[in-house]
Structure 1
Amino acid sequence: MAIKQLLKRTSGWLYLNSSVGRQQLHGAGVILMLHRVLADDNAANLPHRNELCVGPKAFEHLLGWLKKHFDCVPLMDILQPGSLRSERPKVALTFDDGWRDNAVNAYPLLQKYQVPASIFLSTDFIGSRQRFWWESIGETLWNSHGEKARAHLIECLQQLGRPLPVLCDDPDAQRRSLALLHFLQALKTLSPQDLNHLTDACPQESLPQALDWHQVRSLEASGLIRFGPHGASHAILTGLDDQTLDEELSRSRQALLNGCNRPLPVYCYPNGDNDERVRQHVADHDFPFALGTGTGIYRGANDPLALPRFGVSQRTARNPDLLSWRIYRGARP
């Protein structure tokens, strides 16, 4: 595995530093997808956190690397480019969900490096005590809130026919965390009602998980951050009937219009899930652009309602040449 990673990193470095790579990326845009920036890199290294979480040292390393190889621009500079052309490829950072640590941990580093970003809010969570199920269930099962809370949640899972795998009690932290990651991914098939029931069975954290509207307005006033909708309840849009889908889209749009001065004309699909029906509803709600999770670079010819992004994990933030390898694969004709 180490040799494979080394080959990817070397290939990625060569691509960004070659005439072929520069030619392929000329005039192109790269959109990155992040979620959280934790206060501690060791916490972000664990497999069940790695995909959605980045530590501050890794994030700062990523920002320095991006500034070296790309023009770091607001998202709309990629989606609606002006007349000024740069010889360097453009990159835009996006954050999904609206986590409180976007303001506490990510923003100071974005400000330090003067890198703009777009944050897509699951608007029902903003300014409320409502919690993201993945975080609450995952951390309770990881025993972050004590054994009593963990035992109670395990009992609730058993009642739903989802017993905790034995590997989630493995004494090795890496294996235990990887097993928890796979278990959490499997829970995505549960209904929103069941996931809410499990989340309610978890202890209340001392602080809300999401941003509040004061933080949103303060970040927007900085001129470095803009906001767009990422659903209202974070429900998977493809699983909603037409009426519920329209209500979800309307509620998130109205919340942004009320809470921001310049909300982005871009929708961001929860979990990236979309189909032709969902895209048509998004267009009917006057969104000319929407972000998915398919990988690729943006050249202006892509479906504007299924824009590609590259996900950034703790692993790729620490080793950005792995990201350049993925960009290389996404840029191939």
Structure 2
Amino acid sequence: MSQFLRSSSIHEILAFFGDLEKTRLQSISRMFYDKIIPSSLQQCFLSLLTKDKFFSYSKEQGDILYYYDIPTRTWIDVKAANHQEHYIYYSMSAVVTDLNRVLLIGGSFDPEFEQYTDAVYDWNQITNRIQPLSNVPFVSFDNGFFYYRGYVYIIEGHVDLFNQSTVRKTARFNVLGNYWQTLPSLNHANGKFNMCAFKNGFIYAFCEQMSSFYRLNSNLLGFERSTNWDLQYIQWERILIKPSVYFGFKMAVFGLNDNQILLFGGDDEFNNQITHSPISKEFSDANALKILDLTDLSLHKIVDDANQDLKIELPDMFYFNQLSEYNGKIYALGKDHIHIINLSKKEIEIIKDDGDYNEEDY
């Protein structure tokens, strides 16, 4: 019990540390470091800072889990210790907490009872057991997720093609407290809000057909359990983009530094589902890499040495928004390929992805 309490206390403290603070903590003398941090957690620090893994799951075989080892460029299969045969997972995303705790967030379908459930699942990397933690406050598909300092944030992504709703629900999950808080809704319909990010205290929401994007000042939310937000002061800010930009289905978002966010589009396979305003860009433009400059909120393309747009050459869909920076390169996990982006050389390498996403069902 004392070891559990110690780990919980460390987790609670480290939830508010950034990468710089963790690096400084690691620089403390080895003798002192070993005394205050259990050795099992030291590897968590190293893995977090190097960001050398993608975590995934098998949609077709619910008892198989995966992680992709970036240094060796190989998928590792992991047999789950527990599995309910009648459950099929769908629309799942993986987030990694400050201590390398892997949370699978999304839904499951029980064919026996014809019931859908959205929930947070804990993948225990020691026992390889999958444990449901808490149901998501609303059932939805293709949500945007990210983790930041003790919270998992979610933005509703599903678009009802028969009854267009203008309200996008948002919430956050307190990992330590194991509870959800409903946040102020994003009151604009602009396609699927399937990706989001956190930079400089702001939550950013992006969608596949983008004439605008949105941000919410997270500092106004505080750390209280209350959900009685003062909507007069706490609301999403809408930022217009002219002309509109099309990103395609299941775009990818990655924070480069404090002032830039990298965005690029997914496959246009589902274009016939879009019922919103006319798309002002050609579909091929969706896969061009773009940088959102947060200093002036402008969007710019990246061009190579031949003055050509740098693009994801093989259109893909980034269901999990699993992107990581390793040895100066950005690794983006798509449904069909892993795309390795070298921004300094303005090059993109493509690796065939052998992970299991049950492609025929998407």
* TM-score, length-scaled by structure 2: 0.26
Q: Which has the higher contact order (CA 8 A, sep 6+)?
A: 1
Name the structure with the higher strand share: 2
Name the structure with the higher helix share: 1
* TM-score, length-scaled by structure 1: 0.28
